A and B are shown apart, each in its own frame.
Chain A
Amino acid sequence: MPRSSRDEEFSAFVTERRTGLVRSACLLTAGDTHLAEDLVQTALARLYVAWPKVRRAGTESAYVWRIIVNAHIDEVRRPSRRKERHVPEVPDRPALPETFPDGLGGAEVRNALAALPPGMRAAVVLRHWLDLSVGETADLMNCSEGTVKSQTAKAAARLRELLSPAVAERTYP
């Protein structure tokens, strides 16, 4: 039950934004809703602690996303969560289509997202889902604008590759 202006403002922010935060975090986690919920809970608790300062600066969303992205990268880097796939030989690379194919299912896309390194996935989500600028994304990910551009371009190319019919058939039969 809210009992101070901090509580009231924070509650209003949570009520308005929480569902969207969890949905967007699901993209970072490639569909892992439990991990997405954990990340958002962590970020919101820390936002509450920093609320007066963050509120004054008007940077609530950026603060939450910075925590979500960094917490996710930390989580994925934990040895117990590493799920690298080893293949016996480098697959042939067919010529990449310019567009993504039609008729894809959600699970296929999430599998492809899961195959991206977490930083690359974060760059795609921040740039293309949250519509942040290159500068904002770089600031949030604590990297250079050049890194954001290259990560986003590589991610798009990798997704096209993974979702092209020939590769998809081999990877997700």
Chain B
Amino acid sequence: MTDIKDLLELALKDVPAGGRYAGPAEDLTRGRRLLRRRRQRMAGLAGVTAAVLCGILVPLSLNGSAPAAGHPVAAATSSPVPSPSKAVSTPTDAAHAIKLVAWVGTQPPGYKVDWMPKGWVVQGSDPYALVMASPATKDKDPTVFIGKLVVMLQSADASAPPANWADQPVNGRPGKFDVQGDTQILIFKAAGGQWVDIQAPVSLGWDRAELAKFGGGVTVLGAAQAGRG
């Protein structure tokens, strides 16, 4: 034997080939999960950055002058917070809010949904996530959640929503609400005990009550599955 390539072939000769590989589905699922985790982390970082900038810029704008009308002054006041939950201002524009209309068409796998934003379309749905978006959305990839309305179960690696988020009950069941960057997040307990995670872009113009109304129309079915991470 003279060749290293022959030697390497010999090394693989009695190594079992391929094993249990049965198609690309598992790799696809792992890839999507990693992508989702990365995007959630990026969204979180964007939210933290925005919060830090607000913490710097709002006090500067208020220093020595009256705030302009409509400014979120509540964030800069020193009055005590009445509840242990953190106060969250919802930057909505009610005049341009997209209305909720009754769901029309086939229900997605894993969920029964009563409402959807008027004029929006379902971009993708599987047992892990239901993704709705405006038809004008440039990003047609349903694994990209930025600027889209997403319904999913809270990650299997999380036990409950963060305790310091604002309370927002849904159908009388406990729920938590927070705004991170351009995204509103509502996590509430479904009738079956699962935590449902809804992410909505601020651009929908919804306030917390509207988001809770949408969440109240979501029923988790047996096929729904939680992601990881």
| B19, CB-defined interface residue at 8 Å | yes
Chain A residues with CB under 8 Å of B28's CB are 2, 7, 10-11, 14, 48
Whether A45 lies near B30 (C-beta < 8 A) is yes
| A106, CB-defined interface residue at 8 Å | yes
Given A14-B24, A14-B27 in contact, is the A27-B18 Cβ separation under 8 Å?
no
Whether B30 lies near A1 (C-beta < 8 A) is no
Given A49-B31, A125-B8 in contact, is the A15-B24 Cβ separation under 8 Å?
yes
Q: Complex formed: what's the CA distance from A118 to B7 in Å?
A: 17
Beta-carbon nearest neighbor of A34 in chain B: B19
Closest 6 A/B residue pairs (Cβ) = A48-B31, A14-B24, A109-B11, A11-B24, A45-B30, A128-B4
Chain A residues with CB under 8 Å of B21's CB are 18-19, 22
Q: Which of A48, A100, A106 contacts B1 (CB 8 A)?
A: A100
Count contacts on B: residues with CB < 8 A to the other chain. 36
Chain A residues with CB under 8 Å of B13's CB are 106
Q: Give 19 pairs: A residue, B residue, CB < 8 Å, sorted on A.
A: A3-B126, A4-B140, A10-B24, A10-B27, A10-B31, A11-B24, A11-B28, A26-B12, A26-B15, A27-B8, A41-B30, A45-B34, A46-B34, A48-B32, A100-B7, A101-B1, A104-B1, A106-B11, A128-B4
Of listed B6, B8, B13, residue having the most chain A CB within 10 A: B8
Q: Complex formed: what's the CA distance from A18 to B10 in Å?
A: 20
Q: How large is the interface on A (under 10, 10 to 19, 20 to 34, 35 or more residues)?
A: 35 or more
| A124, CB-defined interface residue at 8 Å | yes
Of listed B6, B11, B18, residue having the most chain A CB within 10 A: B11
Of listed A98, A113, A128, A156, residue having the most chain B CB within 10 A: A128
Chain A residues with CB under 8 Å of B5's CB are 128-129
Beta-carbon nearest neighbor of A44 in chain B: B27
Looking at the assembled complex, report how far the CB atom of A28 sits from the nearest CB atom of chain B, in whole angstroms.
Answer: 11
Q: Complex formed: what's the CA distance from A110 to B23 in Å?
A: 28
Whether A47 lies near B7 (C-beta < 8 A) is no
Whether A1 lies near B10 (C-beta < 8 A) is no
Beta-carbon nearest neighbor of B26 in chain A: A41
Of listed A1, A6, A27, residue having the most chain B CB within 10 A: A6
| B143, CB-defined interface residue at 8 Å | yes
Whether A49 lies near B38 (C-beta < 8 A) is yes
Whether A49 lies near B34 (C-beta < 8 A) is yes
Q: Complex formed: what's the CA distance from A15 to B32 in Å?
A: 17
Whether A128 lies near B8 (C-beta < 8 A) is yes
Looking at the assembled complex, report how far the CB atom of B40 sits from the nearest CB atom of chain A, in whole angstroms.
Answer: 13
Chain B residues with CB under 8 Å of A98's CB are 2
Whether A113 lies near B11 (C-beta < 8 A) is yes
Chain A residues with CB under 8 Å of B143's CB are 4, 6
Q: Complex formed: what's the CA distance from A143 to B17 in Å?
A: 31
